[in-house]
Structure 1
Amino acid sequence: MNRRRLTRWLTVLLMSTSNLLALPALAADEAANALITRLSTEVLGSIKASASVRTGDVTTIIALVDATVMPHMNFKRMTASAVGPAWRQATPEQQKRLQDEFKTLLVRTYAGAVAQVADLSVVVMPLRASPQDKEVVVRTEIKGRGDPVQLDYRLERTSGDGAGWKIYNLNVMGVWLVETYRSQFAQEVNTKGIDGLIATLADRNKVNASKG
């Protein structure tokens, strides 16, 4: 299985875990590695139990993300990091469009790969962090056929409403997702500007939607 394919279905696993954050109080008190352990275990069961998710039904996946993922991920930070310095130059309207198109890109790209995670297991490594840390990396291995695959999460501790750990980046086999998109987006911004990047993302989403 090549890196691109791995990135697709492993990121679906990441995004799907947010469906299981049903107890905010528990999430606020839970250690970052304990959170990932619980979610990784539960999400595999959830995927196996849902025929529509297992077959990569786009409508089901998008509804799932809209209802459950956004409250538990710092998607604004993910988008801002992926866009890079140009994010600060964008208007609020442009920032919203970038975030919306980036979310749609990820969801539609990875929706068709959900079925591939059903036969996997997840091993969470011991957390190397102190209780005072505000940002941590939780390292895991995905085991199935072939060699184990590295899947690491970057999380930040938040306060106030919805306090707890929020995921804002993903590392697959040594490659961080946000940084990968940053290099692609920078080329678009340099040649076409911010509106050009938005248009490119929108066009890509239309193509993905036409493919189902």
Structure 2
Amino acid sequence: MFKQVVAAAVMVMGLSSLAHAADEQAVNRKDPYVMVEKAAQLAFDDLKAQQPQIQKNPNILKDIVRKDLLPYVDYRYASYKVIGRNLPKTTADQRNRFVEAFKNYLVTTYAQAFTQYKDQKVAFERDSLDDNGRPQRIASVKARIIQPGGQDISIIFKARLNSKTGEWGVYDMVAEGISLLSSKQAELEGLIRQKGIDSVIETLKEKANESITNKSADGSK
């Protein structure tokens, strides 16, 4: 069930294609709600348009994720959260290599989730604002995946304001109450403590290099 709701979350957060260059410029990173909603709208159009190519070569989804999703994901902040209490014991080089490996691992994870795309519809809600009508430094963008004939799925995208750039980046997705970031932190923080960060980096690299399987085509994975 967790993999299914994460797949739905990733599909909502899939972002615009570089083929939509003009639209990409219109994605406003100064407002987390506008950013996620606009990006999601562009994503569904892009995924739908590329389905014939994706069916033939699912690894195209990795390219889509790299171009369309990563610019709006704060993967460095997420990486540091995953390293957790091990962070002070790491060198700058180890942290940089972990961030790069974790980023590529996310690309593969998200790309595989995109194979669940079935032209679902999405409804968004806004979280509470501060006294000046602005979102807090951490914003929750709530969404509901509407599945005809099935139960709707509740998704919350957690976004963080970068105080230096004034732009927002998504760092976590909470699907039906389950945090993707927390689950990865629980999984990898312990491995870093047991085997060392260098070993975990190599494991992430291996997982990142795995090919995407088109689930809708064979239904076996």
Q: CA RMSD in A?
A: 2.7
Summarize the Cα distance change of 1:210–1:157 in structure 2 as closer, same or farther, 3 Å threshold.
closer
What does the per-residue CA deviation read over 1:69-127, in whole Å, with 9 as the maximum and x for residues that have no partner?
33322110011111212133222221122122212222223323324223211111132
Summarize the Cα distance change of 1:12–1:28 in structure 2 as closer, same or farther, 3 Å threshold.
closer
Q: Paired residue for 2:169? A: 166
Shift of 1:32: 2.3
Aligned counterparts of 1:102 and 1:69: Cα–Cα separation in 2: 14
Q: Paired residue for 1:105? A: 105
Aligned counterparts of 1:154 and 1:138: Cα–Cα separation in 2: 6
Summarize the Cα distance change of 1:132–1:139 in structure 2 as closer, same or farther, 3 Å threshold.
closer
Q: Is the 8 A contact 2:16 2:40 kept in 1?
A: no
Summarize the Cα distance change of 1:52–1:6 in structure 2 as closer, same or farther, 3 Å threshold.
farther
Q: Paired residue for 2:118? A: 118
Q: Paired residue for 1:27? A: 28
> Taking structure 2 as the reference length, what is the TM-score of the superposition?
0.79
Aligned counterparts of 2:64 and 2:206: Cα–Cα separation in 1: 23
Q: Paired residue for 1:148? A: 152
Aligned counterparts of 2:162 and 2:143: Cα–Cα separation in 1: 22
What does the per-residue CA deviation read over 1:25-66, in whole Å, with 9 as the maximum and x for residues that have no partner?
x5145x322332222222112111112675394543333333
> Taking structure 1 as the reference length, what is the TM-score of the superposition?
0.82
Instruction: Number of aligned residue pairs: give it.
Output: 206
Summarize the Cα distance change of 1:82–1:165 in structure 2 as closer, same or farther, 3 Å threshold.
same
3-state SS in 1 of match to 2:169: strand
Aligned counterparts of 1:210 and 1:40: Cα–Cα separation in 2: 22
Q: Paired residue for 1:10? A: 9
Aligned counterparts of 2:128 and 2:58: Cα–Cα separation in 1: 37
Aligned counterparts of 2:16 and 2:99: Cα–Cα separation in 1: 18
Shift of 1:18: 5.5
Shift of 1:165: 2.1
Q: Which runs of 5+ in 1 are unaligned?
A: none
Q: Is the 8 A contact 1:55 1:112 kept in 2?
A: no
Q: Paired residue for 1:137? A: 140
Shift of 1:199: 2.5
The amino acid that maps onto 2:155 is L
The amino acid that maps onto 1:148 is D
The amino acid that maps onto 1:17 is L
Shift of 1:151: 1.0
3-state SS in 2 of match to 1:199: helix
Summarize the Cα distance change of 1:6–1:109 in structure 2 as closer, same or farther, 3 Å threshold.
same
Summarize the Cα distance change of 1:184–1:165 in structure 2 as closer, same or farther, 3 Å threshold.
same
Aligned counterparts of 1:160 and 1:189: Cα–Cα separation in 2: 30
Q: Is the 8 A contact 1:56 1:112 kept in 2?
A: no
The amino acid that maps onto 2:119 is D
Q: Paired residue for 2:191? A: 188
